[in-house]
């Protein structure tokens, strides 16, 4: 895995602009080394660490040349600087190639992965607690469908869930239930547990053995796969057969098994850790997500394992400690059993020892899910350990960090037509499908992700175990910082200070400093005063940090190789002009804390003039400038992303000079002229690379014809496709005067005198709609049949005249997320509430009790609530 990361980083360096300036020989030397590293087969940690170290040195050589090339003295020393960089690169690459060649010569023969895969019958014996409801639910599905299964090809019931959830135990309980035995008989049930690898021929032989009741005859051993498959199929089709396949690891594995075992009349019960496997099975008649145990059943299982047979608990102290540790297991049976095995037969002192590291210990029940990941997927997963305590990790942030780390490449993205954000979304989608992370989606796009419970603990444990990442918690006093060989460090600020020795600090490549949400806090003056010692930093990420007096620590502007700098959620009174010295900076995130008292971040109007490499700029939601000047952006020739652009604070005409801008989020307040300029800009770039743009129009009451005309022009043009409008407009134009380009519309305080739905429901591409703060003044809203065919996200908030809602059949067929908030007059369910059954998330906030009770009763009557059902 570490070898792959080194090769990816080196490949990125080969494509860097500085490498091109050094010369084509530098590119060739680096790419030759990349090839050698990729072909290197070694598990020797020391060798991989040495390669990683040399990769970082290659980057230092390249970036040192880049810094010197921007010096005033460079013209006189160009040749010497170029030769020095080339010499360093050649020397470092030679060492890495020698490591690869030496390792290859030491291998007497190339390691060959065995494709011989084992299949064996699962042995029972697990303690079973708290699965009765799930068992009954699936048995009813099997019994009901067994009557019709012989009429169709085959059917499947997948059970999916994270490691340790008890999927195999549940499957075995179902397999051995007397009703299932009676329905399918002893000789027409096959229970197979699959090993890490699967071989179709071995699987067929094993199934045949189960049918024969003995070892397979020699005449079948050498039988061709086709003949063997036909023999198995004949047996399977003789009568209804239940096949249990435990541990299907991938879609490809399922497809292979399906092709040989999916005989007519069969029902296949599948267990898998991967959601995407379960969802890919087109023959599924029911998909079951394995649920965690309740707190009561968790304790019951633990007691049965530690004090079997109802034995008396030895002491109140052990019970108290046990209950605390069982809660850490989050209802995961495998974790509870693993914990119980550590504690059974131990005394109170030994229990205390286990309790100190209980969470990290039980988290290893998740390790099999990690082991199934490909090497590149492990890198993406481990990287999330930087954000263990974050409830929301933005894919956009990850895309910047992963590019700088060399984990994803813009060049490969261009080849496939995907942006870096697209690539990041795909990587996160895979991790989510494998149950490694949870994600929050809006209109099918991942907006954030986060590590959940024991999976997050396991992630951090693996990251530290492999020296991928180290975490320092200053809520505890530390004698020293045991960084090891890691280049990535996360520091949680607490009540203690810390000192990092310069020789250790100079090796750190990525540093995240975050204030914990809970616990005491003291400003770590020693640590912050040494920031300048982190000379090799490429990534410096502050989160939720309140800088004393709002001033930046001295020395940040001396970090000449810095590429990523973030102050998201921090209190920062003023951005110092010295920040412009960071000539390598690619990403600057200034989304600081918003202060209602008006003391928001002050930004020098010309601070970005020298930051010619800046590609992504996130301005504060609210900020200040001095002397009545506006923020200059005309020097940002490489800028691709600009967020929180405000026409009141920024030079609006500078937008036309940002030739590489791809992503713009802009806000206009009151001024008609600014609105016209910014919409003209968006129109001029809509077919010239501006991929994503949105516009927020605030405090724009259309009492004059001029303002109303500007608003109607936006609706007619459909540029940008994402618009939020706040202000009085009275009426919407007819639907044929509104562009079909709109994908997201937010209307606030528009005080429409007619129901807006008959107009908006005809926008065929609209996927998100928010109506808020008296967006309309009528008391009834109607969603017509076949209206809103693509709408997936609907929010209704603070609509104080809203009393009745009618939803006709086939309206909003794709709606998955619904939020209703502070609609105090809405006290009954919508007429035609069938659309509620397809929701994935339903939030009700500050709604009348009669309304929430009706909704709850309706769902409970149908025994089906949305996966996310929230009442606040």
Q: How far apart are CA 834 and CA 854, in angstroms?
A: 14
Q: Which two tokens stand for residue 453?
A: 């419970």
Q: How far apart are CA 491 and CA 513, in angstroms?
A: 5
pLDDT at 57: 85
Q: What is the pLDDT of residues 106-125, one digit of tens each?
A: 543 332 223 333 333 334 44
242 near 269, Cβ under 8 Å? yes
Q: What is the pLDDT of residues 409-461, one digit of tens each?
A: 877 656 567 899 999 999 999 998 888 998 888 877 899 999 988 999 999 99
Q: For residue 774, give the 3-state DSSP assignment.
A: coil
Q: Is the pLDDT of residue 566 over 90?
A: yes
Q: How far apart are CA 716 and CA 732, in angstroms?
A: 11
Categorise residue 748: left if φ over 0, alpha if ψ from -120 to 50, beta otherwise.
beta
pLDDT, the chain, mean? 86
Ranges 338-342, 598-602, 620-624: which has the least confidence: 598-602
DSSP string, 14-78: HTSHHHHHH-HHHHHHHHHHHHHHHT-----HHHHHHHHHHHHHHHHHHHHHHHHHTSTTGGGSH
Q: Rounded to the nearest 5°, which phi and psi values hold at 663?
A: -140, 115
Across residues 69-89, what is the average pLDDT? 74
Determine the Cα angle at 70 with ends 68 and 72, to 5°.
90
Helix H or strand E encompassing 793: strand 793-797
Q: Rounded to the nearest 5°, which phi and psi values hold at 310?
A: 75, 25
Please, which pLDDT band fits residue 389 given cuts at 50, 70 and 90? confident
Q: How far apart are CA 420 and CA 412, in angstroms?
A: 9
Q: Which two tokens stand for residue 8?
A: 């990816």
Residue 25, burial from CB neighbour count under 10 angstroms (0-12, 13-18, 19+): exposed
Choice between 398 and 228, residue whose per-residue pLDDT is larger: 398
Q: What is the pLDDT of residues 189-222, one digit of tens each?
A: 888 887 655 556 666 666 666 665 545 555 555 6
Please, which pLDDT band fits residue 526 given cuts at 50, 70 and 90? confident
pLDDT at 124: 44
Across residues 588-596, what is the average pLDDT? 89
pLDDT at 818: 96
Q: Which two tokens stand for residue 388?
A: 């263990």
157 CA to centre of own chain: 27
Ranges 115-119, 739-743, 801-805: which has the least confidence: 115-119
E-assigned strands of 371-460? Answer: 438-442, 445-450
Q: What is the pLDDT of residues 658-668, one digit of tens each?
A: 999 999 999 99
Q: Is the pLDDT of residue 399 over 90?
A: yes
Q: Which two tokens stand for residue 185?
A: 């008989």
Of all residues in the chain, what percent carry a pLDDT higher than 70? 89
Q: Is the pLDDT of residue 150 over 70?
A: no
pLDDT at 687: 79
Q: What is the pLDDT of residues 695-727, one digit of tens each?
A: 999 999 999 999 999 999 999 999 899 999 999
Q: What is the pLDDT of residues 262-317, one digit of tens each?
A: 878 889 999 998 888 888 898 888 889 999 999 999 999 999 888 887 777 778 88
Q: How far apart are CA 14 and CA 729, in angstroms?
A: 55
309 CA to centre of own chain: 44
Residue 534, burial from CB neighbour count under 10 angstroms (0-12, 13-18, 19+): buried
Q: How far apart are CA 491 and CA 527, in angstroms?
A: 10
Smallest CA-to-CA distance from 190 within 149, 246, 118 is with: 246
Task: From residue 552, give the alpha-carbon distance in Å to each of 263, 489, 512, 566, 580.
Answer: 68, 20, 15, 12, 14
Helix H or strand E encompassing 707: helix 705-717
Number of H helices, E strands in the chain: 30, 27
Q: How far apart are CA 364 and CA 368, in angstroms?
A: 8
Q: Which two tokens stand for residue 516?
A: 């914990």
Q: What is the DSSP letter of 189?
A: E
Ranges 354-368, 418-432, 627-641: which has the least confidence: 354-368
Q: Which two tokens stand for residue 731?
A: 């009426």
Q: How far apart are CA 676 and CA 544, in angstroms?
A: 37
Q: Which two tokens stand for residue 442?
A: 């809006």
Task: From residue 160, give the alpha-carbon distance in Å to each of 78, 248, 404, 675, 807.
Answer: 61, 10, 35, 51, 34
Q: Which two tokens stand for residue 866?
A: 């949305």
Please, which pLDDT band fits residue 7 given cuts at 50, 70 and 90? confident
């Amino acid at each position: 895995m570490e070898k792959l990361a080194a090769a990816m980083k080196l490949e990125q360096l080969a494509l860097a602009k500085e490498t091109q300036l050094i010369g084509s020989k530098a590119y060739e030397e680096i790419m030759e080394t990349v090839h050698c590293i990729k072909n290197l087969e070694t598990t020797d940690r020391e060798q991989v660490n040495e390669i990683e170290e040399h990769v970082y040195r290659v980057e230092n050589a390249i970036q040192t040349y880049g810094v010197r090339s921007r010096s005033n003295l460079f013209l006189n020393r160009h040749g010497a600087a170029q030769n020095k960089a080339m010499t360093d690169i050649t020397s470092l690459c030679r060492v890495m190639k020698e490591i690869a060649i030496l390792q290859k010569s030491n291998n007497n023969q190339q390691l060959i992965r065995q494709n011989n895969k084992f299949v064996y019958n699962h042995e029972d014996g697990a303690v079973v607690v708290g699965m009765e409801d799930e068992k009954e639910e699936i048995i009813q599905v099997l019994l009901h469908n067994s009557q019709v299964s012989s009429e169709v090809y085959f059917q499947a019931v997948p059970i999916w869930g994270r490691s340790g959830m008890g999927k195999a135990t549940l499957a075995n309980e179902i397999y051995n239930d007397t009703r299932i035995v009676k329905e399918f008989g002893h000789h027409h049930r096959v229970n197979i547990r699959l090993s890490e690898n699967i071989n179709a021929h071995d699987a067929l032989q094993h199934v045949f053995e189960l049918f024969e009741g003995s070892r397979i005859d020699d005449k079948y051993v050498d039988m061709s796969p086709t003949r063997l498959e036909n023999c198995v199929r004949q047996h399977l089709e003789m009568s209804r057969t239940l096949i249990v396949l435990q541990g299907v690891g991938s879609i490809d594995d399922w497809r292979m098994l399906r092709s040989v075992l999916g005989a007519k009349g069969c029902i296949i019960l599948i267990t898998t850790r991967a959601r995407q496997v379960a969802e890919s099975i087109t023959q599924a008649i029911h998909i079951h997500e394995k649920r965690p145990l309740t707190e009561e059943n968790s304790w019951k299982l633990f007691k049965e394992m530690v004090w079997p047979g109802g034995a008396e608990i030895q002491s109140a102290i052990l019970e108290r400690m046990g209950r605390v540790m069982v809660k850490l297991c989050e209802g995961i049976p495998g974790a509870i059993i693993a914990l119980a095995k550590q504690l059974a037969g131990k005394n109170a002192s030994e229990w205390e020892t286990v309790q100190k590291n209980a969470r990290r210990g039980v988290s290893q029940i998740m390790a099999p899910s990690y082991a199934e990941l490909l090497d590149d997927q492990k890198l993406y997963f481990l990287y999330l350990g930087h954000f263990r305590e974050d409830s929301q990790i933005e894919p956009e942030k990850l895309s910047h960090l992963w590019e700088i780390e060399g984990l994803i490449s813009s060049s490969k993205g261009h080849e496939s037509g995907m942006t870096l954000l697209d690539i990041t979304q795909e990587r996160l989608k895979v991790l989510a499908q494998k149950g490694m992370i949870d994600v929050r989606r809006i209109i099918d796009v991942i907006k954030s992700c986060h590590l959940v419970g024991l999976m997050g603990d396991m992630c951090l444990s693996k990251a530290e175990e492999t020296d991928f990442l180290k975490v320092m918690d200053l809520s505890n006093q530390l004698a020293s910082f045991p960084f090891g060989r890691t280049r990535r460090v996360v520091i949680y600020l607490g009540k203690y200070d810390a000192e990092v020795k310069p020789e250790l600090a100079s090796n750190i490549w990525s540093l995240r400093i975050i204030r914990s949400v809970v616990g005491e806090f003291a400003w770590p003056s020693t640590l912050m005063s040494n920031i300048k010692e982190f000379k090799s930093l490429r990534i410096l990420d502050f989160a939720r940090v309140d800088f004393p007096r709002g001033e930046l620590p001295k020395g940040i502007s001396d970090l000449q190789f810095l590429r990523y700098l973030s102050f998201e959620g921090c209190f920062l009174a003023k951005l110092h002009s010295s920040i412009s010295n960071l000539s390598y900076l690619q990403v600057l995130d200034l989304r600081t804390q918003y202060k209602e008292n008006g003391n928001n971040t002050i930004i020098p109007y010309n601070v970005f003039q020298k930051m010619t490499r800046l590609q992504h700029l996130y301005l504060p939601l609210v900020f200040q400038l001095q002397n009545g000047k506006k923020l200059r952006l005309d020097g940002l020739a490489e800028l691709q992303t600009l967020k929180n652009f405000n026409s009141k604070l920024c030079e609006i005409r500078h937008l036309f000079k940002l030739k590489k801008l791809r992503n713009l989020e802009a806000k206009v307040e009151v001024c008609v002229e600014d609105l016209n300029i910014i919409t003209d800009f968006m129109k001029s770039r809509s077919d010239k690379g501006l991929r994503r743009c949105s516009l927020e129009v605030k405090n724009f009451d259309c009492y004059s014809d001029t303002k109303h005309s500007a608003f109607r022009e936006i609706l007619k043009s459909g540029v940008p496709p994402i618009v939020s409008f706040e202000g009085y407009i009275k009426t919407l134009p007819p639907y044929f005067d509104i562009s079909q380009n709109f994908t997201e519309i937010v209307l606030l305080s528009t005080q429409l005198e007619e129901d807006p739905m008959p107009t908006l429901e005809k926008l065929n591409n609209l996927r998100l709609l928010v109506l808020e703060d008296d967006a309309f003044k009528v008391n009834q809203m109607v969603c017509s049949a076949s209206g809103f065919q693509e709408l997936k996200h609907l929010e209704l908030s603070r609509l104080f005249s809203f009393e009745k809602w009618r939803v006709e059949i086939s309206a909003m067929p794709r709606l998955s997320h619904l939020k209703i908030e502070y609609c105090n007059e809405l006290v009954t369910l919508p007429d035609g509430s069938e659309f509620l059954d397809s929701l994935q998330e339903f939030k009700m906030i500050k709604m009348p009790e009669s309304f929430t009770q009706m909704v709850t009763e309706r769902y409970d009557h149908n025994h089906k609530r949305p996966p996310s059902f929230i009442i606040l």
